[in-house]
Amino acid sequence: MKAYLDCYPCFLNQALKTARLHTSDEKKIKHILDKVAVALPRVDFAATPAEIGREVYRIIAQESGIEDPYQQLKKIWTDKALALYPHLKKLIRTSADPLFMAVRVAIVGNVIDFGVNRAFDLEKEIEQILHQPLIINHYQRFKERLEKASRILYIADNAGETVFDRLLIEEMTKPVVYVVREKPVINDAVQEDAEAAGIAEAAEIISSGVDAPGTVLSLCSDEFREMFLKAEMIISKGQGNYEGLSGERGPLFFLLKAKCEVIARELNVPLGSLLLI
């Protein structure tokens, strides 16, 4: 999907949020915002938000001199998620339909706020989210496709969420190729983050070659693109990957939360909807 003009102020919001992660110096933050602001008029809004986001995060990295401002947070989130792993595993294994529960857990991983501190609060938050219905729920087709597929391409989104992905991967009991970003961008998972989540025990980890906060095929490596085009089943996590891949054809299943008005409008669902499409 292409970007909307609503994304225009939002890119500055994201820049502000990210800049604040690596400095509290208002002048430095203002400098980064200024650089992003003057770059936006040159941006082609026919591009996907993921492509524009890539430019925005490139500017931030360049101006701040820090390539991965989320590095520390990604570690903390992964550790928190790992601490929840036994609880989630039990939840899935004792469920009437463990695969469906694992799908929902994977969506929860896209939603949960690791900023909340205590493990107890996280468990409570997970339970609340698990009680929300999927506003679009193509689970039946997901299940059927999974039964037929001999290998699944699983496109990751955020670090921390990776642990929730691992639980779904383990439940699918089929060979999985887990696809991460080539370089750090926002809180998206790279090789290191996937390994920290223990994904290597359950799947093969590869990079899509992308350094955008979403999977845009034209930016991917030839190797990944070939894999994508031949795939029997593709699971795409999160909004950024949806933005990049919603226009592509293929055995695609999107697991995401509609986190902004633009996506909610595009999909004609209420803001905040949990979706399996």
Query: ∠ CA(114), CA(174), CA(129), 5° rounding?
Result: 30
Q: Which of residues 30-49 bind a second copy (CB under 8 A)?
A: 30, 33-34, 37-38, 40-41, 45
- Mutual angle of helices 139-148 and 98-111, in 10-degree steps: 110
Asked if residue 12 binds a second copy (CB under 8 A), the reply is yes
Residue among 3 and 84 whose Cβ is closer to a second copy? 3
Residue among 6 and 97 whose Cβ is closer to a second copy? 6
Window of 7-15, 88-96, 142-150, 261-269 that interacts with a second copy by CB under 8 A:
7-15
Smallest gap from residue 26 Cβ to a second copy (A): 6
Asked if residue 13 binds a second copy (CB under 8 A), the reply is yes
Q: Write the CB contacts of 176 (distance below 8 Å, at least 6 apart in sequence).
A: 151, 152, 153, 154, 169, 202, 203, 204
Kindly give the pairing relationship between strand 274-276 and strand 252-257. antiparallel
- Mutual angle of helices 98-111 and 71-93, in 10-degree steps: 160
Are 18 and 29 spatial neighbours (Cβ–Cβ below 8 Å)? no
Smallest gap from residue 113 Cβ to a second copy (A): 17
Asked if residue 271 binds a second copy (CB under 8 A), the reply is no
Q: Pick from 6, 25, 144, 226: which binds a second copy (CB under 8 A)?
A: 6
**Structure tokens of 112?**
């949960």
Q: Pick from 1, 23, 25, 26: which binds a second copy (CB under 8 A)?
A: 26
Which residues make up the interface to a second copy (CB under 8 A)?
A: 5-6, 8-10, 12-13, 16, 26, 29-30, 33-34, 37-38, 40-41, 45
